[in-house]
Chain A
């Protein structure tokens, strides 16, 4: 053999032998068998394969502890409380730990290996927030500028509370070079864990809405991140005064159908004011009227601000704030528990409705809305 080849071959050979031994050792030694991770005192119990860092083990179970560095121990973001004694903090953890953290058994989940049954504590919202791969199942025009888009989850199920929102991941398209995320309230009911429905109104010049209206087709893959948001039905006997306009319909559709389906919050009366300019902007009219007929606690008040004579509109007319004002004044009974305001729409509409509601004695901390609009 040429002497020139001997050297490289020998080095390669030695490296290969070492790599082989390491791989075999790794297979043999890192086999810890099945471990149990109990999260928040048994609220969730995972059966996992031991031997990997906690961060990666949880991620494999679809629990995403935030981590900026990807588990290299340099960002300190993946802190989590490990109740089980897994030994003293490592030198790699200490730079990120305050004395309070150390006393509370807070660890970096990327540095703690799963080599025994563990009991850990995580913020609850981490359980359900994740990225969902979906495909568009159906796109339907509900008005000339609002599309109802139904996404089917490729795998897994989504657990959310009616009223929450997801972020739609818009990939780069056309002149848009960067991926953006935009929040949309889910209009589907939580009981359908395989689908997410969004109502998306075309905003002229809007990156995400233009994408949905002009680019997105049925069958396209889309990523959704969520669920997020604190907008939900509060468990009190107070009457819900809901006001929406345009695609602000979405969270209410989810809430109402959820309450109707499950009989949740049986003491709550629901009043729903939906404002549009003309019948062209009005949608779900028949569905909601049908719901109203079958569900005695639900009162639907659609209103047009600029009805044309030829539309033969027989419902309420006027700005939604005026309609709301009139109803609060004369129509809606005030139970002992009082009223709660639920709003979804443009910031201008939310401000105006808040003022009307305050005028009628609804205190500000009982008026609920998501600020992401």
Chain B
């Protein structure tokens, strides 16, 4: 029923991490990326949370898209429905993690509910819709994008840790300024992957 692109799952996974990294290629989810990356441990927690949320919501939203939205012909409402689904899934995920892995829940802390408004999540789901992925592709793309986001924030957190110790940063650029410049360089570096796999 779907005219899915013919792309292998492995290359789709690698592409979503490297060549079309949701953060460094599309600049989605940048707000928490910048604010959280100043702490390495929090970045780890948020990375895990984002990966899980994007992976699971893409699966759920795929089902909602092809079993509710398309049959009813209400594509014009897909944004609102996706946002509702994301909020609901994050809420459920929070309760499940809270119950079964208090230590992970502690590590994720406030970040889990905050992901509800992380645009990377909605962005990935909309890509999934536009690119007409089938279910396995949607799931792989979701988890891959999340992992890419995770990788990016870990890299940035590591760089910022080094930068904090570096006194050569001009006073006016300290903090967010130098972080934005760093992100720019990282994005350029990731462009270097683009020749490897092309997924659109």
Contacts and interface: CB of A to CB of B under 8 A. Distances in A.
Interface residues of B, number: 26
Interface string B65-89: 0001100111011001100110110
Given A7-B76, A14-B85, A91 B109 contact: yes
- Main secondary structure, interface of A, reads helix
B4 interface: no
Given A18-B88, A113-B98, 5 more contacts: A7-B74, A14-B85, A22-B91, A25-B96, A88-B106
Given A6-B74, A88-B106, A92-B110, A11 B88 contact: no
Nearest to A87: B106
Contacts of B81: 10-11, 14
A14 B92 contact: no
Contacts of B64: 14
A84 interface: no
A18 B82 CA distance: 12
B110 A18 contact: no
A92 B109 contact: yes
Given A21-B92, A92-B109, A92-B110, A11 B102 contact: no
B103 A25 contact: no
Contacts of A11: 77, 80-81, 84
A87 B105 CA distance: 10
B99 interface: yes
Given A7-B77, A25-B92, A91-B110, A115 B72 contact: no
A292 to B, nearest CB: 64
Contacts of A10: 68-69, 72, 74, 77, 81
A26 interface: yes
B42 interface: yes
Nearest to B42: A91
Nearest to A8: B77
Interface of A: 3, 6-7, 10-11, 14-15, 18-19, 21-22, 25-26, 29-30, 87-88, 90-92, 113, 115
B74 A22 contact: no
B110 A90 contact: yes
Interface of B: 42, 64, 68-69, 72-74, 76-77, 80-81, 84-85, 87-88, 91-92, 95-96, 98-99, 102-103, 106, 109-110
B84 A15 contact: yes
Given A7-B77, A11-B77, A91-B42, A30 B109 contact: no
B74 A25 contact: no
B109 A29 contact: no
B98 A29 contact: yes
A324 B64 CA distance: 88
Contact of B68 (A14, A26, A90, A91): A14
A15 B95 CA distance: 18
A6 B68 CA distance: 11
Q: What 6 A-B pairs come out closest when comparing CB atoms? A: A18-B88, A29-B99, A87-B106, A7-B74, A7-B77, A91-B109
